[in-house]
Amino acid sequence: MSLTNNATINNWVEEMRKLTKPSRVVWIDGSEKQLADLRAESCSNGEIIELNQEKLPGCYLHRTAVNDVARVEHRTFICTPTKEDAGNTNNWMDPKEAYDKLGKLFDGSMSGRTMYVIPFSMGIIGSEFAKVGIELTDSIYVVLNMAIMTRIGKAVLDSFGNGTDFVRGLHSKAQLDEENRYIVHFPQDNTIWSINSGYGGNVLLGKKCFALRIASYQGRKEGWMAEHMLILGIEKPNGETKYIAAAFPSACGKTNLAMLIPPEGYRKKGYKVWCVGDDIAWLRLGPDGGLWAMNPESGFFGVAPGTNMKSNPNALLTTKKNTIFTNVVHNLDDNTIWWEGLDNNPPTNALNWKGEKWDPTSGEKGAHPNSRFTAPAAQCPCISPEFENPRGVPISALVFGGRRAKTAPLVYQAFDWNHGVFVGSAMASETTAAASGAVGVVRRDPMAMLPFCGYNMGDYFTHWLEMGSRIKKQPKIFNVNWFRQDENGRFIWPGYGDNMRVLEWIIRRCDDEVDAAKTPIGYIPNINDINIECIEDEVSVETLKELLSIDTGLWKEDAAGIEEYYNKIGGRMPKELLDQLDALKSRLG
């Protein structure tokens, strides 16, 4: 039975019910009782596996279909009225054609199944910065994940009342048919249709589909920004906290940076890092004329492999209860889980991510490289006291970064806002297992939004430039690269907690406490201003110089690559950025 009198919602749910033809409809009220019943049902049909409840209370394991383990960018569409509005970096389908095509696939796709109606809020329920969505799905796994990742249930409907501005999300696993898998967005209709997948980023419609693709489109119309950014606070020894938002492409270190533990020397001095968000930031102008960021999610959908007590203890501790693990190794001895990089003791009596008997000495990976945990953010030991603040936090610095073996130095600062927008627009990074397709190929990924921008990339850059002109207290803009390699392909920067050393330089720059060297690409730290105390064995002064070096030849090549990419984006590229590119070229000589 419906949980609301809102006729717009009820009519739409009824229309979708008629299309997908489920045998029954269940509204998700958000109660623990209902979720417990759903977990039990999902366990009984084998969709999820209850793990050792003494060691991992409230934890479950799920395996996706083997052909359905990551986002599918080539099957993701932005269906704006014109192709030009979606731009050359998005796949486009005519909206009518898309509704027709997917309408046929959705016709009867839920027959014999239950349709769950999930009311959810991105942001604190009822806050002026939150947005409401409703996801219809035939997957209990989706319900259980949405209950962690977003704020769900009757409270959302009650506070929404008779509103009509909500995102209409329709998802069906259908037959999990790869050939007919589509993740389709209709930004002008606030609508998302996703079919034939059961993998997180394709089906948890509050996340990439709504909070980035649809929200970026809304943000442009309404004067704010939806970005693929973590948000963290650095508490200084004097008690003041500075907030940073950082955009890195998928599987390039957001979750890790968002909850880093500073090196011992910093902890002794009194530095602390607080996590506000690990993947998505909604940014608005604040009453003080600055830029404020809030995390619209309430959970982490984090990469499992490589997460351990050394690399990211806070993430690991967050996953000790009430967590859903997807596509990791199942340890049959004690009914727990494992993944590559958790520890050096892979289980010998175990199943791999596909559910097959697995021999850790076989050389084959046990967990999928894009295996994930879904865990409540509130369980994170360093969750920020501002996490539930509906207004978010004031941002001092914006940081861009990618995975680049060469070219990009450890850190540099943009000259000003517009140059910072240029730096973000020119980002490049090696592809990762978070999306299907080749891994390790360098591609342009502006602001880490290439797969997530819900409209024309040229218009998106213009929006960034316009936002800058409206912000009175502009954040400073930086670029980082934790992934520089030596000639043997080894990372030369230790990364993880030691990234604090770079964050310290960034906040000192924001506080005007430290000088920097002007170079053709931006401001670079003076060598003595990056603290390498206690890591001199790993990072000598020579290594640091290498990390901060700029190879003019490589940068000239890069400038050519940027030009090519700008040409691809086409006619809506703002002139300001073309001028920035010319200026870079002339500085490089």
Q: What is the DSSP letter of 485?
A: B
The residue (of 120 and 555) whose beta carbon lies closer to ligand SPV is 120
Number of residues that bind ligand SPV (CB under 6 A): 9
Q: Whole-angstrom Cα distance, residue 371 to residue 542?
A: 37
The residue (of 285 and 405) whose beta carbon lies closer to ligand GTP is 405
Which of 6, 76, 250, 322 contacts ligand SPV by CB under 6 A? 250
- Binds 495, which of Mn ion, ligand GTP, ligand SPV, none (CB < 5 to 8 A, cut-off by type)? ligand GTP
Q: Whole-angstrom Cα distance, residue 422 to residue 400?
A: 11
- Binds 201, which of Mn ion, ligand SPV, ligand GTP, none (CB < 5 to 8 A, cut-off by type)? ligand SPV
Q: How far is the CB of 257 from ligand GTP (least distance, A)?
A: 7
The footprint of ligand SPV on residues 267-286 (CB under 6 A) is: 279
417-425 and 575-588 helices cross at what angle (nearest 10)?
90
Q: How far is the CB of 509 from ligand SPV (least distance, A)?
A: 28
The residue (of 157 and 303) whose beta carbon lies closer to ligand SPV is 303
- Binds 375, which of ligand SPV, ligand GTP, Mn ion, none (CB < 5 to 8 A, cut-off by type)? none
Q: Whole-angstrom Cα distance, residue 8 to residue 66?
A: 38
The residue (of 260 and 562) whose beta carbon lies closer to ligand GTP is 260
The residue (of 22 and 253) whose beta carbon lies closer to ligand SPV is 253
Cβ 428 vs Cβ 378: under 8 Å? no
- Binds 207, which of Mn ion, ligand GTP, ligand SPV, none (CB < 5 to 8 A, cut-off by type)? ligand SPV
Q: How far is the CB of 470 from ligand GTP (least distance, A)?
A: 28
Active site residue 252: yes
| Among 252, 275, 453, 510, the one annotated catalytic | 252
The footprint of ligand SPV on residues 190-249 (CB under 6 A) is: 200-201, 207-208
Strand, coil or helix: 133: strand
Q: Which ranges of 426-551 does DSSP label H, i.e. alpha helix?
A: 457-470, 500-510, 541-547
Torsion of CA 326, 330, 331, 337, to 10 degrees: 0
Q: How far is the CB of 204 from ligand SPV (least distance, A)?
A: 6
Q: How far is the CB of 426 from ligand SPV (least distance, A)?
A: 20
Cβ 21 vs Cβ 110: under 8 Å? yes
Decide the pairing of beta strands 281-285 and 225-227: antiparallel
- In the Cβ-directed half-sphere of 535, how many Cα atoms lie within 13 Å? 24
Sequence-ordered list of residues with C-beta below 8 angstroms from that of 533, at least 6 positions apart, any chain: 265
The residue (of 273 and 448) whose beta carbon lies closer to ligand SPV is 448
- Binds 271, which of Mn ion, ligand GTP, ligand SPV, none (CB < 5 to 8 A, cut-off by type)? none
CA distances from 541 to 239, 532, 537 (A): 31, 8, 10
Q: Whole-angstrom Cα distance, residue 25 to residue 18?
A: 11
Q: How far is the CB of 439 from ligand SPV (least distance, A)?
A: 13
- Among candidate residues 171, 198, 194, 37, the one with its CA nearest the CA of residue 115: 171
Give the contact letters, 415-444, x = binds to ligand SPV (CB under 6 A), - = no. Answer: -------------------x----------
What six digits make up the tokens of 216? 């970026």
Decide the pairing of beta strands 166-172 and 191-195: parallel
CA-CA-CA-CA torsion sign (358, 361, 362, 366): positive
The residue (of 62 and 71) whose beta carbon lies closer to ligand SPV is 71
The residue (of 121 and 250) whose beta carbon lies closer to ligand SPV is 250
Which DSSP string corresponds to 397-408? Answer: EEEEE---SSSS
Q: How far is the CB of 218 from Mn ion (least distance, A)?
A: 19
Q: How far is the CB of 146 from ligand GTP (least distance, A)?
A: 17
- Binds 499, which of ligand SPV, ligand GTP, Mn ion, none (CB < 5 to 8 A, cut-off by type)? ligand GTP
**Residue of closest CB approach to ligand SPV:** 201
Q: Is 150 in the site for ligand SPV (CB under 6 A)?
A: no
CA distances from 243 to 36, 246, 251, 257, 396 (A): 37, 10, 22, 13, 6
Binding site for Mn ion (CB under 5 A): 250, 279
- Binds 206, which of ligand SPV, Mn ion, ligand GTP, none (CB < 5 to 8 A, cut-off by type)? none
- Binds 440, which of Mn ion, ligand GTP, ligand SPV, none (CB < 5 to 8 A, cut-off by type)? none
Binding site for ligand GTP (CB under 6 A): 248, 250-256, 278-279, 302-303, 305-306, 311, 434, 482-483, 491, 495-496, 499
Burial class for 132, CB neighbours closer than 10 Å (0-12, 13-18, 19+):
buried
The residue (of 153 and 206) whose beta carbon lies closer to ligand SPV is 206
Burial class for 391, CB neighbours closer than 10 Å (0-12, 13-18, 19+):
middle
Phi-psi category of residue 9: left, alpha or beta, with phi > 0 → left and psi -120 to 50 → alpha: alpha
The footprint of ligand SPV on residues 284-343 (CB under 6 A) is: 301
The residue (of 63 and 403) whose beta carbon lies closer to ligand GTP is 403
Sequence-ordered list of residues with C-beta below 8 angstroms from that of 466, at least 6 positions apart, any chain: none
Q: Which helix (H) or strand (E) holds 523?
A: strand 523-525
Cβ 297 vs Cβ 212: under 8 Å? no
- Binds 293, which of Mn ion, ligand SPV, ligand GTP, none (CB < 5 to 8 A, cut-off by type)? none
Phi-psi category of residue 495: left, alpha or beta, with phi > 0 → left and psi -120 to 50 → alpha: left
Which of 71, 75, 220, 509 contacts ligand SPV by CB under 6 A? 71
- Binds 295, which of ligand SPV, Mn ion, ligand GTP, none (CB < 5 to 8 A, cut-off by type)? none
**Residue of closest CB approach to Mn ion:** 279
> Which residues are at the interface with ligand SPV (CB under 6 A)?
71, 200-201, 207-208, 250, 279, 301, 434
Question: Annotated active-site positions, please?
Answer: 252
